[in-house]
């Protein structure tokens, strides 16, 4: 355990004053129901939000709140946090209950939650300026791409449905399978005149995005 933690610190180029904070940030609730990363994830999510919203505020002083909000959403969603967590190698060090399981990119929620928890741990262990610089470094590519606002699939489908039919898309939970620490949600989505499309994901939001994306592609909605 200590060897792995020291290795991860070297990869991050961060020396924790309290290694216990880093261990906690990497501990999923399936491994420890009481001493896990949930509270650090809560904190990290807020720290990331503050840093990135301030960065967007400074980068785009002439844009209105609605456009900034869309740019922000494209920086902090689960998929982006997962990709960033993966890029820094956090998946190699996550502690889960099933020691035989190997974390892969399908475990989006686990990876993204650990990424946020890591930010929370760095904030407590170091200080705000330190964690701010760390966030801006690992989010740099995504921040650079934020110059082009890309609507997510749910938003795009909602705008199309309201414009054409004056009704919201219809989402319905079909099933939840798999273990508690890695659930698989299936959610159906449809709009007026369309068939139902089934989306899958490790969270309801991810499954809804997947279903909306499939519907947009099938209906050739641009």
Q: Which of 41, 45, 125, 208 is catalytic?
A: 45
Active site residue 159: no
Burial class (CB in 10 A: 0-12, 13-18, 19+), 198: middle
**Spatial CA neighbour of 77 closest among 156, 161, 184, 151:** 151
Q: Which of 108, 113, 116, 125 is catalytic?
A: 116
**Spatial CA neighbour of 192 closest among 153, 155, 219:** 219
Q: Phi and psi at residue 185, in whole multiples of 5°? A: -95, 140
Instruction: Give kind and range of the element (H or E) at residue 11.
Output: helix 2-12
Active site residue 45: yes
Q: In what order do the strands lie in the sheet with 184-190?
A: 170-177, 184-190, 197-201
Q: Where are the alpha helices (DSSP H) in 26-127?
A: 38-59, 65-76, 78-87, 108-125
**Six-digit token pair at 96?**
């889960």
Residue in the structure block whose two tokens are 């200080």: 127
**Spatial CA neighbour of 159 closest among 191, 207, 137:** 191
**Six-digit token pair at 156?**
């795009």
CA distance 211 to 188: 7
How many CB atoms neighbour CB 3 within 10 A?
7
Residues with a known catalytic role:
45, 116
């Amino acid at each position: 355990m200590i060897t792995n933690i020291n290795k991860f610190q070297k990869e991050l180029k961060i020396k924790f004053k309290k290694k216990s904070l880093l261990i906690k940030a990497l501990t999923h609730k399936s491994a420890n129901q009481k001493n896990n990363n949930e509270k650090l994830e809560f904190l990290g999510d807020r720290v990331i939000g503050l840093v990135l919203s301030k960065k967007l505020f400074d980068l785009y002083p002439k844009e209105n709140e609605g456009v900034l909000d869309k740019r922000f959403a494209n920086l902090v969603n689960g998929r982006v946090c997962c990709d960033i967590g993966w890029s820094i190698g956090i998946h190699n060090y996550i502690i889960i209950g099933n020691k035989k399981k190997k974390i892969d990119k399908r475990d989006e929620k686990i990876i993204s939650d650990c990424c946020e928890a890591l930010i929370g741990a760095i904030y407590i262990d170091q200080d705000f300026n330190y964690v701010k610089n760390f966030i801006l470094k690992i989010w740099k590519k995504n921040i650079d791409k934020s110059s082009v606002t890309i609507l997510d699939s749910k938003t795009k489908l909602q705008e199309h449905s309201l414009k054409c039919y004056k009704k919201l898309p219809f989402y319905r939970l079909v099933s939840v399978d798999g273990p508690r620490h890695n659930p698989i949600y299936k959610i159906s989505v449809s709009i007026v005149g369309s068939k139902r499309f089934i989306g899958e994901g490790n969270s309801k939001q991810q499954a809804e995005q997947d279903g909306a994306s499939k519907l947009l592609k099938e209906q050739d909605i641009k």
